[in-house]
Amino acid sequence: MGTMLSVDDLHVYYDAIHAIKGISFEVNEGEIVTLIGANGAGKTTTLHAVSGLIKPKSGSIRFLDHDLLSTKPHRIVRLGLAQVPEGRRIFAELTVQENLEMGAYIRKDREGVQQDYDMVFERLPRLKERRKQLAGTLSGGEQQMLAIGRALMSKPKMLLLDEPSMGLSPILVKEIFSIIKDVNDSGMTILLVEQNAKMALSIANRAYVLETGSIVMSGDASVLLNDDKVKKAYLGG
């Protein structure tokens, strides 16, 4: 099991604010790794640095031996890193099917693309029923499924998920998380940023706890799930 993503001594500033203070972490092939922490802890900022949306001040980010800091964001997608952004950001005016096509735009293997539609529809049957529907008319949960499906259509090696539970009812959160687990079971490596620490820790292999831009704890997700400090601070226990 090789290291897929390694982040080393990452520092990010927003103007004068030191948002990320020298964090280091890694994601190994086949894992679900989650970054948990309160709002404003720096989880999304970290993800944006990985996907090339913001430029860190210093540190290194390597994905499959590519230096991401010297790679343009659109090239990062071509390397096999797909992000499911916070707030879903689907194309509301396009149909479900057209949204999925947008996910596959970088691919040349038409036959493989066809097979992946089948794979996405098999995993997310609700999208299949609604494939001719305009994406803007879907429920929040369905839009989140579509955002995941669209990312999968780029045939990534790794998926970055930013707050997939945001704004969803508890029952839908459960459903989305079982989809994420299912996608991981099929061999997909996942980095998950999540406000809902309990759900995140229940499906992840390993976790890092962020507080005001620093990693304050890390370890096996099941161990952290039962840790008194974590319970008190993040699990409402």
Q: What is the pLDDT along the chain (237 residues), one digit of tens a residue?
A: 699 999 999 999 988 899 999 999 999 999 999 999 988 899 999 999 999 999 999 999 999 989 999 998 888 988 999 999 887 789 999 999 999 999 998 788 888 888 999 999 999 999 999 999 999 999 999 999 999 999 999 999 999 999 999 999 999 999 999 999 999 999 999 999 999 999 999 999 999 999 999 999 999 999 999 999 999 998 875
Q: Which of 173, 236, 167 is nearest to 200 (CA)?
A: 173
Q: If you write DSSP's letter for every residue of 185-216 in order, what string do you get?
A: HTT-EEEEEES-HHHHHHH-SEEEEEETTEEE
| Residue pLDDT, tens place only, 82-95 | 999 887 789 999 99
Map residue 145 onto helix, strand or coil: helix
| CATH class held by domain 1-80+159-169+191-237 | alpha beta
Sequence letter at residue 94: L
Number of alpha helices (DSSP H) and beta strands (DSSP E) in the chain: 10, 10
